[in-house]
Amino acid sequence: MDNPFKIISERLSNIESLLLDIKHKPVEERKPENLTVKETAELLKVSEQSVHNYIKRGTLSAQKVGRILLIKRADLDNALTEVKSLKYKRT
Using pLDDT thresholds of 50, 70 and 90, give the confidence band for residue 49.
Answer: very high
Residue 64 has pLDDT above 60, yes or no: yes
Using pLDDT thresholds of 50, 70 and 90, give the confidence band for residue 23.
Answer: confident
Angle at 64 between CA 62 and CA 43, to 5 degrees: 45
75 neighbors 61 (Cβ within 8 angstroms): yes
Q: Where are the domains of the chain?
A: 34-87
DSSP for 73-91, written as a single string: HHHHHHHHHHHHHHHT---
How far apart, in whole angstroms, are the C-alpha atoms of residue 66 and residue 88? 38
Fold of the domain spanning 34-87: Multidrug-efflux Transporter Regulator; Chain: A; Domain 2 (1.10.1660)
The per-residue pLDDT of the chain, averaged, comes to: 85
